Amino acid sequence: MEVVLAKTAGFCFGVKRAIDVAFKEADQNKKVYTFGSIIHNEEVVNELADKGVEVIHTKEELKGISEGTIIIRSHGVSKEIYDIIHAQGLKLVDATCPYVLKIHKLVKEQSEKNHSIIIVGNDMHPEVEGIIGWCMGNFTIVKDIEDAKKLDLSLDKPVSIVAQTTYNYKKFEDIVEIISKKGYDINVLNTICNATQERQSEVKELAKALDAMIVIGGQHSSNTQKLYEISKLECENTYYIQTLRDLDLNKIKSFRSVGITAGASTPNNIIKEVHTACQN
């Protein structure tokens, strides 16, 4: 059986940076917290928990902490969370992905210019929740093409469009095209990160060429879900797993060729384990 490992599989720059920051702080300080899971991968979060790093999820929990280090997760947070950390006198360590920080800056600047902000993404995702917290005025979440078709904003204000960094690039293009036909004065800011676009392009090509695809990543990982969706459209035999335990090797070994890719928050040891098992 031919086994092809995607070149782009595994940690992206922003995720690796966040993990390195978190483990460094865990080794150097006693009371360390992350606001939300540092990345969307249970294995990594559990490793940090073993080192004493606690995950907090709400403003109320944050306000109840009087000392220690707060690490901002890779997905970023709202301006309000920064303000609370400073007000509590806590040590702030910012592990937000630089691509996400760029979006925070853009929506703040554009909304201060009195632009309506459109955020293309999943309104339940922590990255989008964080972006919302930097909008100084009107904002609208567009989840999909149906939302874009229903969009009805005032024509009196310019519109700036940004995207969740892990959004499907082709869908983003389709949504922008729909919005551009509504007569708004639009400013399109493509904020989908390069690593996301490269992964999505690669998985599409692999899925077209191979008999089966394995997509590895956390259940709550947005970028992994997008990889799975893209692969599934091209290759019916696409399997979404978190670790080797979730994989039916007997089924996989019935195919002549198998591709393996992984989301941006999937550790290399998990990818290697799956790759080795498929080759043996």
Residue-wise pLDDT tens digits, 109-120:
999 999 999 999
Identify the architecture of domain 2-10+194-279 in CATH: 3-Layer(aba) Sandwich (3.40)
In this prediction, residue 220 carries a pLDDT of 86
Q: Which residues contact 159 (CB under 8 A, 6 or more apart)?
A: 115, 116, 117, 118, 153, 179, 184, 185, 186, 187
Indicate where the chain has its CATH 3.40.1010.20 domain(s): 2-10+194-279, 99-188
Catalytic machinery residues: 127
Selected from 3.40.1010.20, 2.160.10.10, 3.40.50.280, 1.10.10.10, the CATH number assigned to the domain covering 99-188 reads 3.40.1010.20
Q: What percent of the chain has pLDDT over 70?
A: 100
252 contacts 212 by C-beta, under 8 angstroms: yes
Cα dihedral 129→103→68→59 (10° resolution): -20
Q: What angle do CA 272, 197, 34 make, to 5 degrees?
A: 65
pTM for the full predicted model: 0.89
In this prediction, residue 157 carries a pLDDT of 94
In this prediction, residue 191 carries a pLDDT of 97
**CATH classification (class only), 13-96:** alpha beta
Indicate where the chain has its CATH 3.40.50.11270 domain(s): 13-96
pLDDT lower than 70: segments of the chain = none
What spatial distance separates the first Cα and last Cα of the chain, rounded to whole Å?
A: 10
